[in-house]
Structures are given as C-alpha cells and as structure tokens.
Structure 1
Amino acid sequence: MIEDEAVGARIAQIRKTRGLTQAQLSQKAHVGRAYLARVESGDASASTVWLAQVAQALGVDSSRLSGPQDSAEQLHQLVPTIRRALASTDLYDDGIELLPLDQLRRQVVQLGEWRRDTKYDKIGAILPDLVEQLLTAGQEHGEPAYALLADAYRAGNTLAHKLGYSDLSLTAMDRMEWAADRSGDPLLVATSHYLRAAALARIGAGKHALRLLDRTMIAVEPLIATDGNAAAVWTALHMRAGVIAASLADKSASEEHLSEAAKVAAGVGDRVVYETVVGPTNVKLHQIAAQVDLLQPGKALKTAETVDFTDRIAAERQTYFHLDVARAHLLNKRPDEAIEELYTSRVLAPQHFRASATVKNTIRAAAAQQRRASSSLRALANYAGIED
C-alpha cells in the first residue's frame, strides 16, 4: 500500500506534464483550487465525481488517476453477467417459459433490496435470466412489465458503476430509459434521469448532468399536486443536483438545491420511492457529501452529529455516510478517526467496500497522513484489494 502511488501524486504528475498550474487546472476542471491542492498533497480524499472532472480536464480516463479498480475476484467475475444482461432489448426467446408477472415482481423487489444492501453477488446470480423474462413479459403484459424491467436495468447499472465500468453504466442507463419510456410512468422516467445524471457526473460531464436534472425537475414539479410520490422524486433530483454542484465548487447552487430538498423531504419521510432512498435523513447524508467537497469539514461533521439511523436506512446509504465522515476527518488531518469510519463502512457493506474507488482513495489519503501506516490501515487496504 505504501508503494502504491496516491491519487494526488498522479494528478500532480500529469498536471505538470500538461504544463498546468493548480490554478489553471482548477479553472479548467471547474473544481476548487484549495481542494485540488489538498488532494495533491494527500490531505483530502477525492470523490469519484470530483476525480472525473479533473480527469476530463487533464484529457485522461479517471482510472488513470485512481489506479486499478480490480475488485475481489468474486465481484470482478460479475462483469460478463452484466454484459449479458444488457446485451439487447429486442432478442426475445419465443420458447421461454414465462413466469407469472406477480412472481417476476417479487424478484424485482428482492433485487432492489439486495442493491440497497450492497449484495452484488446475489444480483449477478439472477439478473440476466430475470431481464430475459421481463423482456418477453413486456410483449405480453406491456407497461407493468416494462416498469419492472427498468428497475432490473437499474440493478445492472449499480453493478457496472460499483465495479468501475463507466461504459457499462451508461449502457444500463440507456436500457433503463428505454424501458421507463415504455412503462407509461413519467416519474419512473424522471428517476432514470436522476440515475443518468450520476452516470454523467462520473465521466466528468457534471454540467450536462445539472442541465438534465433542471429539465427533469421542471417536468416533475407540476405532478406534485396530484401524485404523492412526485414530491419524493423531486426531492431526490434536488439532492443529486446539490452534490454534483458541490463537486463543481458551486457552493451557492449546491446549498440552494439541498435546501429545497430539505424543505420537501420533511413531508416525504424516510422511505424508498421508485427504488430510491428519500427523506430527511438522506438529505443530510447528501449535505455531508457536499460539505466535504466544498472544503467544509467542520460543517460536515456537525451535520453528521444530527444523523439518526434508528429508522432503517439502506446499508448503501449508511456506508456512504461513514466514507464521507472519514473524508471530513482527513481534511482535519485526523487519520485515526478516518480509519475508524472506514472500519464501520467495511462492516456495513463489505462488497461495496471492496469495489469502491472512493474507499481506495480514502485509504491512500489516510496512509499519506500517517508517518507509518498502522496495522489497522494496512488491514483495510488489503481487504480493499490495495497491495501492500
């Protein structure tokens, strides 16, 4: 792990070969100069969205900055499964023994639970066959089957981006939007845009993502008066916009979006709507992520103190919380506290921990701050697949 070149060192090296100063790169990438300096020095851990912006400005793929993202072997073996599930939308098996729609619905619900609990291997075990069933069911049952298919493609997107395959993630989003359009449900279409915005941000297209979210929020807002779920979707769109704006160092836009999300979330409550975690608690989690990206670690930690997980919040969301708190501690140069949060994240979602680029970046940043990597940090690095 100690020999593994840190993300900040890679950025600095490529920046210098491009003849760019930190100020020039920050302006070109639309990120904060102070945060760039902290990442390059190893005092801050970069998020995947932030890294995508910098990579685009440097003219390299983000994997060039974050290093190899190979996951544990059993997770890496899921990639062929994802490709098969996303291969086509029009090659139906006429000889398939189609399961009843209610049974398919139960499988899709289970898929969503596994996705939120980061049980990626379980998703991979059933996804291709389930997609094939739902494609055929769409021919017979129409809109209800396509709505389920959209959720199945969403699970494929989760596997793709967790394992670091941006191309597959975008393909999954194409498939999800295709199915959502055929579901007859405008809120499902809006949810697909919510996910596409994240996929765009991960490849450095944050401004495009914000334009998509703004357009979608305009379309959803009139539905709030007549559809109880519209407010939840509208809140989710604002949360995503707030985090993406923060990664672009746009403090006012980030705070405005998250403030709007908080106002409506109180009436929405902590729950899952359209397979998306929404509510006041999740707004706080997004606020913490944004505050870290805006170089406000004290504010992020203060917000973290108000988070209460007594109501069941998905393991995926909880592990993001602990990762962002770890990033805040690193900004305060407190690697020991960051390591404690990393351990909690690992316990909550071990498969997410193994696959996450943010985890690897945070571990490397913690190592840079410790004069000598502790045994606990080395153990975390080994678990995450970072060679010692």
Structure 2
Amino acid sequence: MATQSSSPLADCRHAAGYTQEFFADKLGVDRTTVGRWERGVQSPQPWQRPDLAKVLAISLDHLDDLLRRTKRPSNTPSRLKSFLTSGPSLSPPLAGAQCGQSGLVDVFSEDDAVHAAIPRLRRALASIDLPDDGPTRSFAELAAEVSGMIKQRLQARYVEMAWRLPGLISELARAHADTHHSAREAAMLLTLAFRAADGVAFKFGYLDLSARIIDLMRVSALAAEDPLLVAAVAYVRIETFFATGDLASASRLLMAAADELSADLGVSASSAAAYGALHMRAAVVAGRAGKPDAAWDHLGEAHRAARQVPEGVYFGTAFGPASVRIHELAVAVEIGDSPAAVERAAAWRPPDHLPAERRSHYYIDLARAQLRLGHHEDAQLGLEAARRIAPQHVREHPQVRQTLSALLRTHKSPDDRLLQLAAWARAC
C-alpha cells in the first residue's frame, strides 16, 4: 500500500474515496506523479487540470485553491538569481503560465515570480526612448498582444503579465519610432500596455514605479490624440492621489476629465462609458472623503451613462450597469453605511461575465461591511469568495489584510479556516 500524503489535495482525494493508484489510473498518469502533486513538489499541467477537477467533482477555482495550499514553499533563492540573469531566455518558460502552472511559477510562489520580473520592467521603461533593435510585428499582431494583456489584468493574472510586458513595451517603443507604423496607433497601444504594467506595479506595492508608469501613460495618450484614452489615463491616475491621500486633487482631476467629455456623451457607447467611469471613480473618492451627497450624485451620473451602454471593457476599464452597482456597495462602505451595503448585497450578486478583479472587489467590500456589523462568519465567507474569484488580486489587497487582522483580534481561538486564510494573505 502506498504511503498516503497529508495535504489539502490528498485530503480531497481521500474524501472522494480514491486510492492514489485508482486516482492515477482514472487520470492516465503514474501513481508517483499523483504523489508529487500531493507533496507539493510538482503541479499538474494546465491541460490536466480540467480532468483532475472533474474526477474530484470540484470546480477549477476550488482545485486551484487546493494546489496553492498544497504547494511546497520555495527556499531556492539561487535559482531565482539564475532566472534573473539569464537574459532573453526568461520569457519562454512563462509563455502560458498562470497561478501554479509550469515554468518559473512552479519553482517560486506567484509573488516571487512577479517581484522577480520587476527589474526587467524597470529596464524596459527606463529605455523607452532608446528601444533595442529587433523585429517588430504588425499593428494587428501588437494590438492582439495588448488586448491579451488587458484581459490578463482584468482577470487579475499578474504573473504572465509581469514577464511578458517588458518585451512587449520595448517592441511597442520600436514600433512608435518606426516610420512604417502609425505613430498615433503605436502611442495608443503603448498607453494601454502601460496601463497593464501599472496594474502589476500598483497591486504589488511598487508605488514609485506606478507613478512613473502613469506619467508615461499621460505622454503617450496625448500623442495618440484620443480624448477617450486621455480620460482613461485620468481614471488610472487617481491611484497616485489615493497613495498620497490627496482626495481633493483626485476629485478635481476626475471632474475636469468628465467635463471634457460631457458634450460628446451621446456620441458613442465609448464616450458614454468613459464619462460614466470617471463619475463612478469620483463617487468612491467622494465617499472616502466623507461626502456622501456628492458620492451618490456621482453614482447617479454613472447610472445615467450606464443606461446608454452594454456592460463591457472600454479602453481597459470595465463599465456598465453591473459595474456601477458594484461601486454602489463600495460607496456605502466608504461612507460607513454598512447596513445599506449589506442590504444592497442581499438581493444581488455580480454576474460571472464581469472581470474577476471587479467581482472580487465586490466581496472584499462586502466583507468590510459585514465586519463592521459584527457578522464575522459572513465577513470571512466574503473574503473566501473573493479569493476563489481572483486570488492574486485578493492576496495583495491591503483591505483584505486589514479585515483579516480585525477578524483575528476578535476571535480568542480562531478556527483553522480563518488561520489558513490569514496566513495565505500574510495578515498574521
């Protein structure tokens, strides 16, 4: 009889009633492979995971969570150094990598992989006006690559983004300097690629890098000569003011950008979405500043714009009726109206087609409201739901750690579930 490992994945197999031998046979792999998975020294390949989840009768999100908790912590910094110093060959191992998949992400944690990529991103940005020589793909190919980065950001998959963006940004810089490419089109793609890069920098706490990227976004958006792109940059630039606590400047910037678009509100869905997104963002700023009347006024404008557009992604920003409704909950939490926040959430949940990052934030805010009402179990359930949706986003979110720290303080003897969640989020 094979030795049975004690791990979350092994426990799930036991609960399903399988021996390692029978489990391996159903999956068409060797028993030793299952053993390595359960010891956390190897992760199933991406194409193996749907069958693995099906045999265990669990969702792919649940499987990802099991694998993250099963994976053995890395203690091999020397291998990290070899990846950092191996030059252009760094990109291929991560070409299809996501959480817990092959390549560097197997060797290190997701956090390690992102932090290891930051020096390459810094170098690409530092030499943005001095791009390396090299091939440059067509506009259509570059646009498809940028579109992929936008999707990765919205789904909170930061590892692949962090490793692919430096090369993409350098190639876009070459395209911008190349007379065979349209300077305006290249500037537009650069702006959107910068936004994806900021998604990594800001989420992982590189605020200096985020500020630098936002400055580059502003320059390239102006070069693209597209007012909707300029508005998208204003939306992102609010991160800088959130970091400094300058909410008054944040509000002025958003209103100035919205005023620029107000005359074109009925021209297209994109213009309505850009205008509505600015007011949606302004509502959160006003709520955080303790101005509830202004916050609800901004949300009213956002709702008016959302009635003109289908739910979608416009210049990298998710906007539509469901996105505005998510921000209603955020505003209620910001102004301290937790009963209203919970009441709003009682009859509605964000639809699955929304980007993972936005859906997970809904549950982060809901957990904050439940905590303030003393509904500790519900607060924990909210964070667990957020984690299932967008684990990389949730683990790096400071409000998640704040909520978990408060939950730990209120429990004299926290259960294993809460302790595991807090340890995963580095809240204890």
* TM > 0.5 fold call: yes
* Contact 1:86 1:153 (C-alpha < 8 Å) held by counterparts: no
Q: Does 1:247 align with 2:285?
A: no
Residues 1:343 and 1:377: Cα distance change in structure 2 (over 3 Å): same
Partner of 2:11: none
Partner of 1:82: 121
Shift of 1:103: 0.9
Rounded Cα–Cα distance in structure 1 between residues aligned with 2:112 and 2:427 = 13
Partner of 2:151: 113
Shift of 1:292: 0.7
Indicate the SS of the match to 1:164.
Answer: coil
**Partner amino acid, structure 1, of 2:144:** R
Partner of 1:63: none
**Partner amino acid, structure 2, of 1:84:** R
Residues 1:347 and 1:311: Cα distance change in structure 2 (over 3 Å): closer
Rounded Cα–Cα distance in structure 2 between residues aligned with 1:304 and 1:87 = 45
Rounded Cα–Cα distance in structure 2 between residues aligned with 1:311 and 1:375 = 29
Identity over the aligned pairs, expressed in percent? 32
Q: Does 1:169 align with 2:210?
A: yes
Q: Does 1:315 align with 2:356?
A: yes
Partner of 2:266: 225
Which residue among 113, 121, 136 is the counterpart of 2:174? 136
Q: Which has the higher contact order (CA 8 A, sep 6+)?
A: 1
Shift of 1:112: 0.5
Indicate the SS of the match to 2:187.
Answer: helix
Deviations 1:210-235 (A, max 9, x none): 01011111101112233331110000
* Contact 1:194 1:213 (C-alpha < 8 Å) held by counterparts: yes
For structure 1, which segment, 366-375 or 255-264, has the greater mean C-alpha deviation from structure 2 after superposition? 366-375
RMSD: 1.6
Q: Does 1:206 align with 2:263?
A: no
Indicate the SS of the match to 2:308.
Answer: helix
Shift of 1:236: 0.2
Rounded Cα–Cα distance in structure 2 between residues aligned with 1:92 and 1:198 = 28
Rounded Cα–Cα distance in structure 2 between residues aligned with 1:71 and 1:356 = 15
Q: Does 1:371 align with 2:412?
A: yes
User: How many residues matched?
Assistant: 317
**Partner amino acid, structure 1, of 2:126:** A
Rounded Cα–Cα distance in structure 1 between residues aligned with 2:110 and 2:342 = 30
Query: What 5-or-longer segments of structure 1 have no aligned partner?
Result: 1-69
Rounded Cα–Cα distance in structure 1 between residues aligned with 2:422 and 2:188 = 40
User: After superposition, where does 1:54-203 map in structure 2 within 5 Å?
Assistant: 72-93=111-132, 95-140=133-178, 141=181, 142-203=183-244
Indicate the SS of the match to 2:318.
Answer: strand
**Partner amino acid, structure 2, of 1:374:** D
Larger Rg computed on CA atoms:
2
Partner of 2:371: 330
Shift of 1:311: 5.6
Indicate the SS of the match to 1:229.
Answer: helix
Shift of 1:242: 0.2
Deviations 1:17-49 (A, max 9, x none): xxxxxxxxxxxxxxxxxxxxxxxxxxxxxxxxx
Residues 1:158 and 1:374: Cα distance change in structure 2 (over 3 Å): same
Shift of 1:385: 2.5
* Contact 2:114 2:163 (C-alpha < 8 Å) held by counterparts: no
Partner of 1:30: none
Shift of 1:77: 2.3
Residues 1:298 and 1:386: Cα distance change in structure 2 (over 3 Å): closer
* Contact 2:143 2:189 (C-alpha < 8 Å) held by counterparts: yes
Rounded Cα–Cα distance in structure 2 between residues aligned with 1:201 and 1:81 = 26
For structure 1, which segment, 74-83 or 192-201, has the greater mean C-alpha deviation from structure 2 after superposition? 74-83
Shift of 1:306: 4.1
* Contact 2:367 2:380 (C-alpha < 8 Å) held by counterparts: yes
For structure 1, which segment, 349-358 or 123-132, has the greater mean C-alpha deviation from structure 2 after superposition? 349-358
